[in-house]
Structure 1
Amino acid sequence: MNPTSRCLLRIGLLAAGVATAATAGPAQASEAVVVARDGVRTTADHRHHVQYRDSFTVHQFGTVVGAGLRNNADAKSVGCTADDACRSVALSFQIVTLSGDHVHLNAVNEGHAVNEHCTGCQTLAGAYQFVLSTAHPAALTQDTKRQLDDIHRRLDALGASRLPATQLKQRADALAAEVKALLSKPGATTVKGTRPEVTVHRHLDGWPGH
């Protein structure tokens, strides 16, 4: 595990001005620059041996000229022993929809896992960022939102599982693959007859190897 490992994804430069993130539907402000920041953090230690948290957030924007996106997952295990090991898991899913020509995009997606004096501890940070872009303003359909809610419930359910490390990673990746497949469908948005372009940024740090 590399305690300083992280993934930075930057495309273009942000223009001046900020528009507030919208979750219910696409924003309609013209010449807007939007910002979305999401993340989750966990710390397991001898008092709290098992810690799991996830974030699953959807931001829907209309036409924009620029977007600043940040998604972070940070997990730490501290001071446990091999006979009494800790388990710390942080998973963050960020979904963003936007439209416009020549959008200046600054997207940061980081997963950071740390073991501090924690022999045998299991620590995983997973950051998944999905950017859906269309030529014209579009909202996610009710059916798409319903299916995303179902994926979110299954992500939450991982917190109660005691799956081996490799299987937990596989489940998180499988849910991310479902999100991408769902958002990529021609009927995912209210703009009919077009297939959205979906960019996925994935970064896992910790155990198991990736």
Structure 2
Amino acid sequence: MTRRTGPGRKAVRLSLLATVGLGAIATAASAQAAAPGTFSSNGHGVAIADDAALAYANPVQRTAFDDSFTVHQYGTVFAAAAHNDAHATSSACTAASPCRSVALSFQIITMAGENIHLNAQNLSRATNNHCTDCQTFAGAYQFVVSTANPFTLSPSAQRQLAEIHRKLDALGRSSASIASIQAQADALAAQVTSILKAGAATAPKGPGVDALAAMAPTVTMHRMLTH
């Protein structure tokens, strides 16, 4: 997780869920949460990941930026819990000296198996506390890749994701408007989706599986904006 700073203006909240699926994914009851930025497994096919980006701006530090970009490759599981959170707060600044707070969290999950029970939570919160003309923006992006058989993202795909991570870090040094930051984050999310879809398509189908009958990768995106 990295931290940067930069100027700002309006309150926006963004949540985006992108799911790339080859196997069946179903929601189930919540699993125990892990510490932020961690992955854990109980050794019996259950995995947990928890990631977050937290930014707080105030009169002492009027600009704040935090981002998280994590990749969790589970392998074969029958149940998984994933929590991703972006939380930005601007507090107690004035119209003459407004605050800007931006938090962006990208969480990538890969897993394999049939009828996987997945509890995925993707949350963003942007809060202004007595902060006139402050800009507060939180974006949570969660990507879940499910395949029938386990696979590992190729070195090329991992290099591409690392480059996207560097570009996400660079947004912390940007003085662009919140609308521009949002647009750039959305563009990076689209690139991640493309990389994951291509990677999932290379996953082994298993013996005796008709390639024409195998389920093709699908991408589902949920996006919420609050101004």
Amino acid at match of 2:185: A
Tell me the distance in 2 between the aligned counterparts of 1:137 and 1:66: 14
- In the alignment, which residue of structure 1 is the partner of 2:5? none
CA contact (8 A) 1:141 1:188 kept: no
Q: CA deviation at 1:191?
A: 3.7
Tell me the distance in 2 between the aligned counterparts of 1:179 and 1:132: 11
Alignment identity in percent?
46
> TM-score, normalised on structure 1?
0.82
Tell me the distance in 2 between the aligned counterparts of 1:199 and 1:137: 21
CA contact (8 A) 1:46 1:79 kept: yes
Q: CA deviation at 1:202?
A: 4.4
* Among 8, 27, 32, the residue aligned to 1:12: 27
1:111–1:204 CA distance, 2 compared to 1 (3 A): farther
Q: CA deviation at 1:40?
A: 1.2
Matched, 1:21 2:35: no
CA contact (8 A) 1:124 1:204 kept: no
- In the alignment, which residue of structure 2 is the partner of 1:119? 132
Tell me the distance in 1 between the aligned counterparts of 2:200 and 2:117: 26
Q: Which one scores higher on RCO, CA 8 angstroms, separation ≥ 6?
A: 2
Alignment of 1:38-187 (within 5 A): 38-185=51-198
Q: Which runs of 5+ in 1 are unaligned?
A: none
> TM-score, normalised on structure 2?
0.76
1:52–1:188 CA distance, 2 compared to 1 (3 A): farther
* Structure 1 outlier segments of 4+, above 3 Å: 1-8, 14-20, 186-205
Amino acid at match of 2:69: F
Tell me the distance in 2 between the aligned counterparts of 1:46 and 1:18: 33
